[in-house]
Amino acid sequence: MRGTLYVVATPLGNLADLTPRAADTLRRVTTVAAEDTRHTRPLLTHIGSRADLVSVHAHSSTAALERVIDLLAAGRDVALVTDAGTPAVSDPGTALVAAVRARAFPVVSVPGPTAVAAALAVSGFPADRFLFLGFPPRKGPERRRLLGLVAEAEWTVVLFESPLRTAELLDDLAAVCGAERRAAVARELTKMFEETRDGTLADLAGYYRETAPRGEVTIVVAGTGIPVTKAAPPDPEARARVLLAQGMSRRDVANALADETGISRNSAYRLVNEL
């Protein structure tokens, strides 16, 4: 017999949100693979689960994943959980799910809480279509690229952020999206001090600079409502003539052509030399 990996959603904070099916699964499996075993142990104790705990987190080695696969190969069922919400959604559990699927073991979802859906539901923004971008990079071109996606997005965008960096992210979003773009900040969802504050990005940035948020933070940004249209790339030959007329070297023109028009560098060099 081959074991099954159950991907089990756990509460964001309120233990009453654990579904009966999730509780039954966690009691029935022999092993629970957790992002942080110290965080998950109280949950298992609360529901009376005697499952063994193993650690599977962002820095887990291939050997750690193989240990879980060995358990499945021995016919033991394993549950994957994250600290809060649904595993593999902006969570390192993706690596384990991919490894298990690659070995053709059964993978079963036990759905439940997710901060993405919870924040969308209370934000007041359209959620028939939305873009989830997880935690933004902290700096550099990848951060600028992601912020650019938010600025241009036709649909509502959902982001996660650390409370320590929330005000900085709101400031950066206001700079690229416009100070008047509407947004909502949901924190401590389902917990005692749950709060969802909405307003313009500028207003929210100012508020959280003065009042540092605590707990888990989910940011929802209104979309533009305008479909993104991509301009057609320039004609390679016409663009090459313009750049050559500006005095650029053939090598620089060829590199610029490749970047701007999408043609290969070999084709760009050939075109420039022909001109």
Could you give the C-alpha distances from 156 to 18, 116, 123, 125, 132, in angstroms and in order? 28, 12, 10, 7, 9
* pLDDT by residue, tens only, the chain of 275 residues: 899 999 999 999 999 999 999 999 999 999 999 999 999 999 999 999 999 999 999 888 899 999 999 999 999 999 999 999 999 999 899 999 999 999 999 999 999 999 999 999 999 999 999 999 999 999 998 999 999 999 999 999 999 999 999 999 999 999 999 999 999 999 999 999 999 999 999 999 999 999 999 999 999 999 999 987 776 777 888 888 888 888 889 999 899 888 888 889 898 889 989 88
Was domain 116-221 assigned CATH 3.90.780.10?
no
Quote the pTM value.
0.81
Under a CB-based contact definition with an 8 Å cutoff, are residues 93 and 80 in contact? Answer: yes
**Class assignment of domain 5-113?**
alpha beta
Instruction: Tell me the domain boundaries of the chain.
Output: 5-113, 116-221, 236-274
Q: What are phi and psi of 211, to 5 degrees?
A: -125, 90
pLDDT at 113: 96
186, two tokens: 């949901």
Asked whether the domain spanning 116-221 has the same topology as the one spanning 5-113, the reply is no
Burial of 214 (0-12, 13-18, 19+ CB in 10 A): exposed
